[in-house]
Amino acid sequence: MMSKLPEGKGRKAVVLLSGGLDSMVVAGLVREAGYSLCALTINYNQRHVIELEAAKRIAAHLGAERHVILPLDLRQFGGSALTDDIAVPKDGVQPGVPVTYVPARNLVFLSLTLAWAEAVGAHDICIGVNALDYSGYPDCRPEFIEGFRNLARLATKAGDAGEDFAIHAPLQFLSKADIAREAHRLGLDSAMSWSCYDPQPDPSGEGWLACGQCDSCRLRLGGFAEAGLTDRAGYV
């Protein structure tokens, strides 16, 4: 596993923190490496807006220096099951890009992360993309991350002055089982995070439960099972 980040003492890292398992592990790795954590969460009016609560729990637990929750209403664009009136598939992970793909989402989110990083003088940007057990989203692939790193130089005043931005994607080549193991190793309670695309009201009348059937739940449950670990999140 190559998930360790370079030593970060005395440096800030800006982390895209959705509140899911993957970004929780990335934020944990950032703290483990000694960086000061600047967490960015985008409220894009997503169907599973409940993940924002998970992001808050994680940022607080990890002692983030700052946590910005930025509203950005991607429902005005639509075009995805997460931001439009399109049903979330429940039949298992299929080949191809699924309808939960949000147009250009990672590019938009990484661009915002870069904007904040440049504004606060950070040069380390971290994202929890993963190219093994993933949903086939094009903007999770290594070529995309590498392309973004090159463009970051051209797009900024800092890059123009010869400063480089490192785009860390420490989970890139990990399986979901590896990621579950990393969460365990870092002592991060999986119940702090939220991955489900289609939250269901808890029949007890309070809070929400994960559906257990969307791609995100299936990949997560499969990872914990393969790792022989228990996912402490609540499922229907």
The footprint of a second copy (CB under 8 A) covers 68, 70-74, 76-80, 97, 101-108, 111-112, 114-116, 118-120, 137-139, 141, 143-144, 147-148, 150-152, 154-157, 159-160
Nearer to a second copy, 54 or 102 (CB): 102
Least distance in angstroms from the C-beta of 206 to a second copy:
32
Strand, coil or helix: what is 37? strand
Contact (CB, 8 A) for 180 and 21: yes
Least distance in angstroms from the C-beta of 23 to a second copy:
19
Nearer to a second copy, 147 or 207 (CB): 147
Token look-up 């009348």 returns 205
Handedness of CA 229, 17, 6, 155 (dihedral sign): positive
Pairing mode, if any, of strands 124-126 and 166-168? Answer: parallel
Nearer to a second copy, 67 or 176 (CB): 67
> How many other C-beta atoms lie within 10 A of the C-beta of residue 172?
19
Tell me the C-alpha distance between 76 and 70, whole Å: 16
Nearer to a second copy, 111 or 200 (CB): 111
Least distance in angstroms from the C-beta of 189 to a second copy:
29
Tell me the C-alpha distance between 152 and 159, whole Å: 7
DSSP alpha helices (H): ranges in the chain? 21-32, 51-61, 105-120, 142-155, 157-160, 176-185, 215-227
Least distance in angstroms from the C-beta of 201 to a second copy:
29
Nearer to a second copy, 135 or 193 (CB): 135
Least distance in angstroms from the C-beta of 148 to a second copy:
6
